[in-house]
Amino acid sequence: MELRLRGKCALITGAAQGIGQAVALAFAREGVNVALNDVRADRLDETAARCAAEGVRVAFCAGDVARAADVECFVTQAEEQLGGLDVMVCNAGISERVMLADMSESSWERMIDVNLKGVFLCARAGAVRMARSGGGAIVNLSSIWAKVATSQVAHYAAAKAGVRSLTGSFAYEFGPHNVRVNAVAPGRIATEMVHKVAPEVNETIHRQIPLNDGAFGEPVDVANAVVFLASSAARYITGETLDVNGGWFMD
Ligand X SMILES: NC(=O)c1ccc[n+]([C@@H]2O[C@H](COP(=O)([O-])OP(=O)(O)OC[C@H]3O[C@@H](n4cnc5c(N)ncnc54)[C@H](O)[C@@H]3O)[C@@H](O)[C@H]2O)c1
Name the residues annotated as catalytic: 156
Which of 32, 66, 121, 138 is the binder for ligand X (CB under 6 A)? 66
Which of 193, 205, 233, 237 is the binder for ligand X (CB under 6 A)? 193
Q: Is 116 in the site for ligand X (CB under 6 A)?
A: no
Could you tell me the sign of the dihedral formed by the alpha carbons of 70, 76, 80, 81, in that order?
A: positive
CA distance 153 to 157: 6
Q: Considering CB under 6 A, how many residues would be counted as binding ligand X? A: 30
We find the least distance from the C-beta atom of residue 141 to ligand X, in angstroms, to be 4
Stretch that binds ligand X, among 10-18, 121-129, 130-138, 167-175 (CB under 6 A): 10-18
Stretch that binds ligand X, among 91-99, 100-108, 130-138, 174-182 (CB under 6 A): 91-99
Q: What are the Cα distances from residue 38, in Å, to 35, 64, 65, 186? A: 10, 7, 8, 20
Count of CB atoms within 10 A of residue 109's CB?
13
Q: Is 39 in the site for ligand X (CB under 6 A)?
A: yes
Q: Is 226 in the site for ligand X (CB under 6 A)?
A: no
We find the least distance from the C-beta atom of residue 44 to ligand X, in angstroms, to be 9
C-beta separation of 228 from 26 below 8 A? no
CA distance 243 to 117: 22
Nearest to 234 by CA among 225, 243, 247: 225
Applying CB under 6 A, the residues found at the interface with ligand X are 13-14, 16-20, 37-40, 64-66, 91-95, 114, 118, 141, 143, 186, 188-189, 191-194
